[in-house]
Amino acid sequence: MLNILFIGDISGKVGRKAVAKILPGLKKKIKPDLVIANAENIAHGTGISENTLKEMMDAGVDWFTAGDHAFVREKYRDTYNDNNFPIIRPANFSKDAPGQGHIVIKVGKEKILLINLIGRVFMKMDYDCPFKKFDEIIDGLDKKNLSAIIVDIHAEATAEKVALGHYVNERASAVLGTHTHIMTADHKITEEGMAYITDAGMVGFADGCIGVDKENIIKTFLTQIKHKHILPEKGKAIFNAVLLTINPKTRKATDIKPIIKFVAIK
């Protein structure tokens, strides 16, 4: 059986420190074959940097997915083309965007297809259709040699994530939502053997608003004037992840376990 740990959106320094504190011990305990994390907020809450990716690689993350903030830091856009960094971006970005949207990862004798998609509902950019992009990727690969197919759907709307889960059921091993930073309570294994959760949550500051200090968020709601987002660098952190168990012979999931941990960051 394959054990795959998927970590929700890592948000800023507090999130990175929480991963560094929790992940090594967690790996010793559960012994995952592969660790994946969403990194679109890894660099001070928005985008990536090479140093922050290296920091999380040193902590034990094997591969990274991204989202709508993937390219906000212009300096690091070409990082998605650098083979030294195991990161993909949403496949339904423009074909002219740097990087790739899916990867076949070799784990021992097994081959795991990781697909990153982004939703369109309530999103600012006019992304390609994630449903059709999944079809395009799957139809272009020899699925006989694959041991698992993992999808990160980075989307705002719950309905869009749920609909995609239904659409790829029987074809994907797992559909894992990201982006909203709040872990949902709907984790399940479908009758067809696909693991699903609408959102895997986040790793970040626990006592704010989705990882951001609450004071300016409240001011924005009260005044209808946008106030600067501030990410605390210490305090109580939450660690959200899901542990998947997948039968490599059938590509079907047999279990999905949410992981919720808290740690103090000083």
Instruction: Quote the tokens at residue 207.
Output: 């006592």
Does residue 224 form part of some domain? Answer: no
Contact residues for 223 (Cβ-Cβ < 8 A; gap 6+)? none
Does residue 87 form part of some domain? Answer: yes
Does residue 230 form part of some domain? Answer: no
CA-to-CA separations, 186 to 69, 90, 177, 189, in angstroms, rounded: 26, 24, 11, 10
Rg over CA atoms, the chain: 17
Strand order across the beta sheet in which 188-189 lies: 102-107, 110-118, 148-154, 174-178, 195-197, 188-189
Structurally, the chain folds into a number of domains equal to: 1
pLDDT in the model for residue 149: 98
Look up the domain containing 148 and give its range: 2-206+236-265
Does residue 136 form part of some domain? Answer: yes
Cβ-in-10-Å burial (0-12, 13-18, 19+) of 61 comes to: buried
pLDDT in the model for residue 143: 79
Tens-digit pLDDT string for the chain (266 aa): 999 999 999 999 999 999 999 999 999 999 999 999 999 999 988 999 999 999 999 999 999 999 999 999 999 999 999 999 999 999 999 999 999 999 999 999 999 999 999 999 999 899 999 999 999 999 988 878 899 999 999 999 999 999 999 999 999 999 999 999 999 999 999 999 999 999 999 999 999 999 999 999 999 999 999 999 999 989 999 999 999 999 999 999 999 999 999 999 99
Q: Per residue in 143-158, is it b (16+ CB within 10 Å) or e — as a string? A: eeebbbbbbbbbbbbb
Does residue 187 form part of some domain? Answer: yes
Does residue 165 form part of some domain? Answer: yes
Q: In terms of DSSP H, where are the helices of the chain?
A: 12-30, 50-59, 130-139, 158-168, 214-223
pLDDT in the model for residue 187: 98
CA-to-CA separations, 183 to 67, 187, 192, 213, 238, in angstroms, rounded: 17, 10, 23, 19, 11
Q: What is the CATH number of the domain that holds 196?
A: 3.60.21.10
Does residue 144 form part of some domain? Answer: yes
pLDDT in the model for residue 141: 87
Does residue 73 form part of some domain? Answer: yes
Residues taking part in catalysis: 69
